[in-house]
Amino acid sequence: MARIWDAHIDVTGTLWNQPTVTKEVREAMAATQQRIKDLLPGLTPVKTGRMRASWNVDAGDRILRITNRAQNKQGTQYAGFVDLGTSKMKPRHITKQAMEQAMSIFTQELSGRLEEKFGGRRTKASRDFAVAIAKLAKRETAIGVTTRTPSLR
């Protein structure tokens, strides 16, 4: 069974249960998805181009998932080895870099959307409020990196 290299941002916590911000969270997640999709190829080393071409970024209401199914001619999925390294190869930390950037992008996107929604005129108070919400968002958001076997559904 093939294994998938998987990294994700999972938005959980009390902030995300508020109906007043769900639209902004969804929009910020979609904007983050597109920017990370554009960023990943530049972070990926190229030998054959398979790994660079195999990145997939999916976003739902509360989760951003990055996966890679690149495999060599023998069928070994190697994205995890390239990312975390081996005893003979240094780690590239592609997903770590992408996730750190994704959190930064998500925070900026959400902050801007909340500032527009609650502030309108972009006053200092509305900016401070948006930044406070974005910081709370960062604390309540989990980042994980796993290797998983896909379910057969």
* Token pair listed for 142: 């989990």
- Name the residue among 25, 18, 6 with its Cα closest to residue 145: 6
**Predicted confidence (pLDDT) at residue 2 exceeds the cutoff of 50:** no
Q: Which DSSP helix (H) or strand (E) runs through 16?
A: none
Model pLDDT, residue 35 = 93
Note the pLDDT tens digit of each residue in 94-118: 888 888 888 888 888 887 887 777 6
Single-letter residue type at 60 = G
Q: How confident is the model at residue 34 (pLDDT cuts 50, 70, 90)?
A: very high
> Are the C-beta atoms of residues 100 and 40 closer than 8 Å to each other?
no
Q: Distance between CA atoms of 39 and 55, rounded to whole angstroms?
A: 10
Note the pLDDT tens digit of each residue in 129-145: 666 666 666 666 655 55
Q: Which DSSP helix (H) or strand (E) runs through 57?
A: strand 55-59
Q: How confident is the model at residue 123 (pLDDT cuts 50, 70, 90)?
A: low
- Name the residue among 60, 84, 59, 56 with its Cα closest to residue 70: 56
- The model's pTM is 0.72
**Predicted confidence (pLDDT) at residue 150 exceeds the cutoff of 50:** no
Q: How confident is the model at residue 152 (pLDDT cuts 50, 70, 90)?
A: very low
Q: Left (φ > 0), alpha (ψ -120 to 50) or beta: where does 152 sit?
A: beta
Single-letter residue type at 20 = T
In this predicted model, which residue has the larger pLDDT, 76 or 91?
91
